[in-house]
Amino acid sequence: MRSTLIAAVAVVLLCAPAALAHPERETFFPDGSVGSVPKYRTSAGQVLVVCKKDSAKRIRRTFKGSKRLRRLRDTRLRQLRRCRFRHIQAAVNAARSGAIVRVMPGVYREQPSRRAPEPDARCKDDYDAIGSSILESGVTGSGGGAKVANFEYQRKCPNAQNLIAIVGDGPDADRVCDSKCNLQIQGMGRRRRDVLISGRRTKLNVIRADRADGIYLKHFTVEFSDFNNIYVLETNGFRMEDITSRYSREYGFLSFSSDHGLYNRLEAFGSGDSGIYPGSGPEGHCKRYGIEIRRSNSHHNTIGYSGTAGNGVWAHHNEFHHNATGMTTDSFASGHPGMPQDCAKWEHNRIYSNNEDYFNDERDAYCSSTPADKRDPKVVCPTFQVPVGTGIGIFGGNGDIVRDNHIYDNWRDGLKLLFVPAAFRGEPEAGIDTSFDNTIARNKMGVRPDGARDPNGNDFWWDEEGRGNCWTGNTGPAGSEPSSNVVLGLPDCPGSSVFSPGIAAKTASQATCSTWDPYENPDPPGCDWFIRPQEPK
C-alpha cells in the first residue's frame, strides 16, 4: 500500500498541472522614508475615459430616481462623450503620470490582453530562479531553482500574466516608478457592480500595479483571476477603495513589498486563499504602521485576511467572518522580505463565525478531481490548509497587538498563537525567533457586539512557546474569564522575559497538518484542522 502511495505521489509530482511557480519574484521594499497614501482627485491634466457600447444605456438605467441621481446621470453622460477607449488597458497605455482613468458602466473583459500569450516568447529569458539547490548544510541538492517571472518580464510582456498591467518602472535599476505613477482608475457607475472587470480565470492577475507608486483604484467589481484579482507589488503609495473582489482562485486584494497603503471599504469573497493579503509589509518595527486596512468586509474565503511577513499593518473596524479561518499572519515562507513577521495591530474588528467547511470530503473530491480551468469559479477550493473554525492565527509573529476586538462564534479557537522556527523560512542560523512580545488585550471573547453570548470552542490556544507574550483585560460572556488551553493560565501583561520552550505535544499536533495535500493527503492522520468542530453550547 505504501509503495502504491509513493508511486501515486511521484505521478502527481511529475504530472503537476501547469508548472507555473507563483511564489513571489525577488522583491525589495520601497524607501519608506518618502511616499504617502494617494488622495482622491476630481481633476487632472489628463483625464481618459473608457466605455463600452452599452455604457449610455447602463447609465440611464441605473442613475434614475432622485434629483441628485438624475444630476449625476447627466454628468456621466456628459463625461461619456469624451470616451476614447474600449479597454482599460488601452487607457492605461495612453496615460501619463498623474492621469485619471474614468471607467464608465459596463463589463470589461479586456479581450486584447486576453490574447497575449503566456508564456511569451519575447520574454523567455526574463525569469528568476527561486530556491537554489544549495541546502542548509551546504550540500548540493537536486531540483535546482523554480522559475518565476521577474520585473523585466512584466515590463516587456505586461499582459502575459495580467489582464490590466500598470507597470511604472523603466529598465533602469532604481526600482522606482518613472511613468504611469499616481494613476487614479475609477469606476463611474452608481454602484460598484456597475463596472465589472472580469478575468474569467484566463490570466493570473486581473489588475497588476507593479512599481506603480501612487496608484489609486476605486469603485468597481473585479472577479475571476487565476491568482490575484488585484496585485500591488513594490509600490510606494497605493489605495484600494470601495471595491468588491470576488471568486479569485487565490487572493482578492494582495499587496507585497509595498508601503504607504490603504485598503478602505473593500469587500472580498470567494478566494481560494485570502480575501485580503497585506504580505511583506513595511518594516516600521512597531514605530510606524505603513499599511492601513479599514471598514472592509472579507467573508467566504479560505482565510479572510492573511499576511506572510504582514508587518506594519494596522487593521481596524473590519469584519472577517464566515471564512474557514478569519485572520492570520505568519513567518512561514522563504523569499518574503521582512521576516520574521512583526508589528501587526488589529483593533476594533469583528472576527466571527469562521467555520466554513471547505475541507470536507465532498469539496476535497470536487477540487482534487476537477482541473482548475474546468471548475466552477464560484466554488472555493482551498489552496492552503488552515484550521477550520479559527478566528485568528498568529503563526510565528512578534510584537503583534490584538486589541478591543469582538471574537466570537469560531467553533475551534478564538485565537491561536503558534511559533515557527527560523529554519522554516530558510534561516536556520536564526534559531527560534518568533512568538515574542505579542499582546492580546481587552478583546470580547464569545460575545457579540450586542452583548449576546456566542462562544468560541476555546478562546485562546497557545503552544506556550516564546517570550513576552501576554493577555490582559480579555473578557468572556458576562465578564467571565476567557477559556484557554494553558493549564496554568495565560500570562498577564507585561509578559515574562524568560523564554518558554513550548509544549512538544501541542506543537507536534500542529506539525501533522503540514503534510496536507488536497490531491494525495487531504486528511492526514494526527491532524484535526479539517474536521469542522461542533458548535459549542
User: By rule CB under 8 A, what string of x and - marks binding of each residue 396-435 to another protein?
Assistant: ----------------------xxxx-xxxx---------
143 scored as a contact of another protein (CB under 8 A)? yes
Q: Which of helix, strand or coil describes residue 114?
A: helix
CA distance 445 to 244: 29
Find the binding residues for another protein in span 223-252 (CB under 8 A).
Answer: 250
- Which of 35, 310 has the CB closer to another protein? 310
Residue 514: CB atoms within 10 Å: 11
Choosing from 147, 191, 442, 448, the residue that interacts with another protein (CB under 8 A) is 147
CA distance 197 to 187: 10
Find the binding residues for another protein in span 444-503 (CB under 8 A).
Answer: 463
C-alpha cell at 216: 489609486
CA distance 106 to 108: 6
Judged by CB under 8 A, the stretch of 70-78, 253-261, 492-500, 525-533 that binds another protein is 525-533
- Which of 54, 517 has the CB closer to another protein? 517
98 scored as a contact of another protein (CB under 8 A)? no
Closest CA to 103 of 182, 58, 49, 42: 49
Choosing from 380, 381, 388, 394, the residue that interacts with another protein (CB under 8 A) is 381
521 scored as a contact of another protein (CB under 8 A)? yes
CA distance 358 to 428: 33
DSSP 389: T
Choosing from 72, 475, 513, 532, the residue that interacts with another protein (CB under 8 A) is 513
4 scored as a contact of another protein (CB under 8 A)? no
Phi, psi of 244 (to 5 degrees): -105, 130
Torsion over CA: 355, 358, 362, 364 (sign):
negative
Find the binding residues for another protein in span 338-377 (CB under 8 A).
Answer: 367, 372
Find the binding residues for another protein in span 298-337 (CB under 8 A).
Answer: 332-335
CA distance 468 to 491: 9
Find the binding residues for another protein in span 26-85 (CB under 8 A).
Answer: none
Choosing from 4, 19, 66, 451, the residue that interacts with another protein (CB under 8 A) is 19
Q: How much is the CA Rg of the chain, to the nearest whole Å?
A: 23
- Which of 164, 204 has the CB closer to another protein? 204
Residues 6 or more apart whose Cβ sits within 8 Å of residue 323: 275, 298, 299, 300, 301, 302, 303, 304, 354, 356
Choosing from 98, 119, 524, 536, the residue that interacts with another protein (CB under 8 A) is 524
Q: Which of helix, strand or coil describes residue 407?
A: strand
**Residues binding another protein: number (CB under 8 A):** 74
Judged by CB under 8 A, the stretch of 126-134, 168-176, 232-240, 280-288 that binds another protein is 126-134
- Which of 182, 280 has the CB closer to another protein? 280
